[in-house]
Amino acid sequence: MNYCKVDSYSKHRHVQHDIAMQTLSLLDGHWKAGDAVLDVVCGTGNETKMIAEMDNVSSVTGVDILPQMIKYAKTHSMITGKMEYLRGDVCTLVEDHPQLYNRFTKNFNGGVYLYSESPVEFAENVKTIGFTDVLCYSDDVIIKMHSTEAVKDFIKPILGQLTVIPPNQHDDFLHDWLHEFDIIISYDGSETRIWNHPSLFVWARK
């Protein structure tokens, strides 16, 4: 995935935003007054800011390993006094930022690809932040895209090649790229594509 052009990524991350909003909807009714939230791999900070705007949330800390994402989030998705953005890896977060230990009451992740040796290892990393009850398990997420346009919207923020292709030729490029994409997904000849994506699910509480 190409993150060098953060402005372009931010404009075309429709699928990523939809997944994050679905995750946020699961927390309806679970927010408590004074919640301090850690947003793991906050990216451009769009959803981080939405969390900060919720009435019960007192503070939000967005963490991302990519400095260009943190720079963009600080410029475009900031509420002074209620938010902060830090560059860091969740696996070494407290080691790099000791002040974060035991600060958070909730941990949000909007659907990011997390890599770890095992769910057990990742659970131990989450515990170092201050969470005591952590459940991690791996499973496949099934993503269905019901039209060719939906697939194009999905891959636009992923393909760095688009930054060097004239805008009036993007559709032709995406049409050609779909032939390659169909090799790695289930495709029955209709416009519906089904992508099984291995994911790590984390449930953390205090």
Q: pLDDT tens digits for 84-108?
A: 999 988 778 888 899 888 889 888 8
Amino acid at 168: N
Indicate whether 113 pLDDT > 50: no
List beta partners, residue 40. 63
Provide the whole-model pTM: 0.64
The string of pLDDT tens digits covering residues 120-174 is: 777 777 777 777 777 776 666 667 777 777 777 776 765 655 667 777 887 777 7
Do the beta carbons of residue 72 and residue 2 sit within 8 Å?
no
Do the beta carbons of residue 75 and residue 10 sit within 8 Å?
no
Tell me 163's DSSP state: G
What percent of the chain clears pLDDT 70, i.e. is strictly above it?
68
User: Strands of 83-87's sheet, edge to edge?
Assistant: 83-87, 57-64, 35-40, 106-108
